[in-house]
Structure 1
Amino acid sequence: MTGTVSGTRVPTGVGIRSIGVCLPEREVTNAQLVERFDTSDAWMRERLGITGRRTAGPDEFTSDLALGAFEDACKRAAVDPASVDLLICCTFTPDHMSPAVATLVLRKAQVHGVPGFDVNAGGCAGGLFALDVGHKYVESGQYGRVAVVVADTVSRLNDPDDRTQHAIFGDGAACYLLERCTGSPGIGRTLLGTDPERYFTAYIERVAGEGRLNRFSGTNVTRMDGRGVKDFALSVLPGFVDEVVGAAGVTLDELRLIVTHQANPTLVREVVRRLGQPADKAVIVADRYGNTSGSSVVIALAEAERTGRLTPGDKVLLLGFGAGMSYGGTVVHWCGGENFPQREW
């Protein structure tokens, strides 16, 4: 899409004005896991590339992390949370089955008169599926400023006896703040995919309690075929990435960074290698935070921007994949403050 400024046609689009992040303070180190499980620090470092992960405290819920990320995004953009026109929350670990976590975030933020709803994109692919939802609402012109929060307390679903899950998963939240941008295409076309034949590669099983017949009651436990996830990532994603960059009209070599879902650092590095790209294009945060599900790609994107690895005008590939198996990708032209026009009230 293009607009006209002083007779000159300039690109316009939907851009990411800011990203907020909220991580629990509580860290679970490799040493702590060694005390609980038959594992070793060397195994976690060498096989997974993880040295620590953050997990929510007993009184810390998905809505609390979501609120922190939302408020951080607004603060970084220097806007009032009440100025948001729509709030979308992507999660599969809601505080309650109903109403939406987005409603609780608005309540805790004391924001009124703003609609909010949840989407469940099946976990780790949520950072791309939810971005596409928010993008389309801004692109349609129906809403001018949309907050897209991706948040989960996924560690609470760990199988108590599965050392690998405890080593991999952490909790966290991140928030895209989306607005119209000028002078840049902003977020490109997002491609999405789902392979239902791999449904049971990674899923959450509800284990009914004793005497419970209601399928909505019981304990939720993660079930994951780690080898299956790896095989999917290495066999499907390279071809899919070719489709994404082709749809964006760019080449892999033009990309400043490749920001993928943080399944684990070892797999992230291997995906980038299989794409034929230099290792320094990868952004790694799971070594310190663990796999935070859908928010992981957003947290990694935020770190790239905050550490100066991503500057206005750069092109960055965002790639999410996870349970389902579902996957999504887009190329984002990174915007700066000058790309967002003054909002009229």
Structure 2
Amino acid sequence: MSASETANSPAPAAYAYPFPYRISGVGAQIGEVISVEEWARLAHIPHRKRAGKEISGTDIERILGVTSKSWDRERFASLDTVADVARAALRSALTEPEDIDAVFVATCTPYEIMLDQDAFNLLRRLRIPDSVPPFQLGAGCGGLSRVAAHLARTGARRALVISYNAASPIGIDENGIISQYSGADGEHPFAHTLWCSGALFSDAATALVFERDDSFEAGLGFYSRDSLDFGGEPGFSDPLIHYPGGGAAHPPGFPGSAELSAFGLNGPELARYYSRGMMMNQETMDAHRPGFVDEVRRIYTHQAGPALVEDYHQLAGLDTLKAPAHARELGNLVTSATPVLFYTDVINGLVGAGDSVCFSVIGAGPERGAFLVRVAIPGEVTVTTPLPPVPAAAAAKTATPTEPTRATA
């Protein structure tokens, strides 16, 4: 999308909601980072144009732009890591489980699919009071905007937001071989490119604690599904990410269900939605809070893929000192992508008490949105290993911490 197309786009939607919250706690965990060359050796993806050959890491880097990814089946084999991350976020917020009055769990890779058992399991492990109902969202990359919109409507005093993407357990068999995404034929509408989602999506778990802060008058957000209208154009009917198997329409065990139970990317539609939608996010926020880009310390944008992110940042005039990126090094962490960016900044001292930040995301549904929030973390933030990468432009301003970081309120 050119700058002229952006300039001529319709005025952004008028709706926005107050978001009087501060982030008082954070936790995050990624997996071991492996090269896409190593991933390709495990995947054995047949090359459609070269008989008898397989797609190489060089091919993947050329097509998707990723050089490495967070991929760690052992660490993400169960909810244990997710629960540990949530506990770390509560500790950094100096908050006890009984102080939480709302919990949101956002994931598109639940460990147990039916009856929101992941959320029930997590609340039980964390000892969240029985009076707090679990709110599990089967959300993709734009899920954090949906969480924020729901949170603003609940009026909760203190909310725990948990997100995770367990890509490797879905794609690796018991022998460590990547198998789900390698088929070049099958029932799936995107059978020929299923390998792209395996190569792009990565492992991560994050947790944020939001505390109500009525003194933060600058806090606001907005949310859009874009199903009926997309900036004056017809709305999207395509979900962007297709996973048709496993439900009542294609039950487990029935013919074709296994082939349909995989994530397929509608690349052209996804690129169109991301490129224009992210710009509309920024225009909408600027319409309601003129000059917000200069006022916030950081803008955390969804990391759909390296080329899409870099093209948008260039179009929007955002450098890595304002809008960090890690898609090239980590792949797409889905709902956890922006919280990992935020966590990285906190532990490296790039964001601290009193700063305001913006989260701007977009994803399958389709859905998108953004929100402004203040940072005030009173306790120590747990430093996990491996550490997420720090953008090169910011690295000179940071020192890799070896002790827990305190971001005082």
Equivalent AA in structure 1 for residue 236 of structure 2: E
1:118 match: 135
Residues 56-205 of structure 1 mapped to structure 2, 5 A cutoff: 56-57=72-73, 60-61=76-77, 63-96=79-112, 97-120=114-137, 122-137=139-154, 140=155, 143-155=156-168, 156=170, 159-161=181-183, 162-181=194-213, 183-185=215-217, 187-195=219-227, 197-205=236-244
2:340 match: 299
Q: SS of the residue aligned with 2:263?
A: strand
- Structure 1 position 263 matched with structure 2 position 304: yes
Cα distance, 1:206 vs structure 2: 0.5
Q: Aligned match of 1:238 in 279, 288, 301?
A: 279
Q: Equivalents in 2 of 1:111, 1:254: separation in Å?
A: 36
Residues 223-234 of structure 1 mapped to structure 2, 5 A cutoff: 223-234=264-275
**Alpha-carbon spacing, 1:209–1:100, altered in 2? closer, same or farther (3 Å):** closer
Q: SS of the residue aligned with 2:85?
A: helix
Cα distance, 1:224 vs structure 2: 0.7
Q: SS of the residue aligned with 2:20?
A: strand
- Structure 1 position 328 matched with structure 2 position 328: no
**Alpha-carbon spacing, 1:234–1:18, altered in 2? closer, same or farther (3 Å):** same
Is the Cα contact below 8 Å between 1:269 and 1:282 reproduced in 2?
Answer: no
Q: Equivalents in 1 of 2:339, 2:252: separation in Å?
A: 39
Unmatched 5+ stretches in structure 2: 1-17, 46-53, 172-179, 184-193, 228-234, 380-406
Q: Equivalents in 1 of 2:57, 2:207: separation in Å?
A: 32
Q: Aligned match of 1:22 in 16, 29, 35?
A: 29
Is the Cα contact below 8 Å between 1:91 and 1:118 reproduced in 2?
Answer: no
Equivalent AA in structure 2 for residue 229 of structure 1: L
- Structure 1 position 212 matched with structure 2 position 254: yes
Q: Greater strand percent: which structure?
A: 1
Equivalent AA in structure 2 for residue 232 of structure 1: Y
Q: SS of the residue aligned with 1:324?
A: coil
Q: SS of the residue aligned with 2:160?
A: strand
Q: Aligned match of 2:39 in 19, 30, 33?
A: 33
**Alpha-carbon spacing, 1:315–1:86, altered in 2? closer, same or farther (3 Å):** closer
Cα distance, 1:125 vs structure 2: 0.5
**Alpha-carbon spacing, 1:100–1:134, altered in 2? closer, same or farther (3 Å):** farther
Is the Cα contact below 8 Å between 1:257 and 1:281 reproduced in 2?
Answer: yes
Q: Equivalents in 2 of 1:171, 1:110: separation in Å?
A: 25
Cα distance, 1:17 vs structure 2: 0.6
Q: Equivalents in 1 of 2:75, 2:195: separation in Å?
A: 24
Equivalent AA in structure 1 for residue 270 of structure 2: V
Cα distance, 1:176 vs structure 2: 1.4
Is the Cα contact below 8 Å between 1:82 and 1:112 reproduced in 2?
Answer: yes
Q: SS of the residue aligned with 1:232?
A: helix
1:3 match: none
Is the Cα contact below 8 Å between 1:123 and 1:294 reproduced in 2?
Answer: yes
Q: SS of the residue aligned with 2:254?
A: coil
Report which stretch shifted further, 82-91 or 182-191: 182-191
**Alpha-carbon spacing, 1:135–1:64, altered in 2? closer, same or farther (3 Å):** farther
Q: SS of the residue aligned with 1:241?
A: helix
Q: Equivalents in 2 of 1:227, 1:263: separation in Å?
A: 13
Q: Greater helix percent: which structure?
A: 1
Q: SS of the residue aligned with 1:283?
A: coil
Is the Cα contact below 8 Å between 2:242 and 2:266 reproduced in 1?
Answer: no
Identity of aligned residues (%): 19
Equivalent AA in structure 2 for residue 34 of structure 1: A
Paired residue total: 325
Q: Equivalents in 2 of 1:124, 1:310: separation in Å?
A: 23
1:64-110 deviation per Cα after TM superposition (whole angstroms, max 9, x unaligned): 34312211201222333343223221123222211442210022234
Is the Cα contact below 8 Å between 2:20 and 2:373 reproduced in 1?
Answer: no
Equivalent AA in structure 2 for residue 152 of structure 1: N
Q: Aligned match of 1:52 in 68, 74, 91?
A: 68
Q: Equivalents in 2 of 1:114, 1:22: separation in Å?
A: 28
1:5 match: none
**Alpha-carbon spacing, 1:331–1:46, altered in 2? closer, same or farther (3 Å):** farther
2:384 match: none
TM-score (norm 2): 0.69
Tell me the C-alpha RMSD between the 2 structures.
3.3
